[in-house]
A and B are shown apart, each in its own frame.
Chain A
Amino acid sequence: MKVVADLDVCIGAGMCVLTAPAVFDQSADDGSVRVLVDAVPAGEARLVREAVDLCPSAALEIEDEAG
């Protein structure tokens, strides 16, 4: 599983970091999301789905669901 972020719409609310801190971080400059991993570890998949769902600006998307 791969998760990608659209930095044009991200508002830096930090819901992703709150939900899946092993996968997401926020830029210290403008709070925008940083995806920390190329492939989401299997153990984080549920939390990443929750983070994608919770994102208030719909900035996160899951690509390559199976991979």
Chain B
Amino acid sequence: VNEVIQLPRAARAFVSFVALLRVNGFAIAPEQTTAFLEAIALLGPRDPEDIRQAGLATLAPPPERRATYDLLFRIHFLGGEEIPSAEGDDEEIIRLQEEGRGDEEPLLADEINESGEMAVRAEALAERRLIPGGPSEPLRRLAREARARLPRRRGHRRMRARRGPWADLRRTLRELTRNDGEVMRLGRLKRRARPRKMLLLIDVSGSMKARSEDNLDLAHTLVQATPNIEVFTFGTRLTRLTRALRLKRREQALAAASHLVSDWDGGTRIGDALQAFLAVPRFGSYARGAAVVILSDGLERGDLSALRDAVAKLSRRAWRLSWLTPLATGASFVPQTEALTAIHRFVDDMADGGSNAAVVAHVLSLRQRRAA
């Protein structure tokens, strides 16, 4: 770009802004930097607003991270005089980089931590590291068998087949040209099966403490194994983990994910958490036609009717709703707690979620189970 050669000094500030964004977790390709410089040249630039707009258009920060982008822009180009320092909240935005931290995150009405001490503990735990070591045998089994045994649905893409509802005209014509214009055999097409959407909701409250880390590990294996999956954790907050868990390396992904979750081992209001989940249209649509799996003990401290409404709503949207609780042992499990009894009739499967092996076995059996 000419501008770089003619105005090395001026251009340097823009290029270093891109570097600053990258350091803060924005994924920006070199071609975007080029487009950014061209855009600035095109716009004049007459004022800083032109530069900000050019960056928004060409560097494409995701909408939920707009606030961070604007803040970094002010720091870099305007000397950061306007930064409100009192709350310390903004610094938080910079340090925490993933989704679920922006304005999109639905905060539950009021934190239910009974004491301040609890909050401090939760904060400390946010930094916790997950146990190193390779994946356990059930998880290896999940990775191995996922492709063959996770639920599927009929897709809308067609593939050639021996038998099927449509004629494959393209193939038929090709064969016809080889046979002097005679149709010997009509090729057929059928609908190709695709992996069904999955939605995994993981309870990370105090009562699920023993399972939290294993569940996260399992979520990572599942995210790696199937393309259409969304993972959220809930406790006092709702956190989307899908993107963090897309990282291939297990340790890296788990570290990123555990850093995102800030409400480890806190309290729960499952009903409110699920309501909050359903209230974001984008999230709510993840449940539509999906195999929804909730890993929670159902120990509800909040309002039972909120829980019942949310689960009923989820159940109507889902293809099949599974509630896996560590309390359920054996096939003859009958829910005892008030919350589980209340939601029992909306849930398609209420099964054992007490160990990786049990959860994996259930998830892999989903394809055999019919849509409810």
Q: Do A and B come from one complex?
A: no
**Chain B interfacial positions (CB closer than 8 Å to A):** none
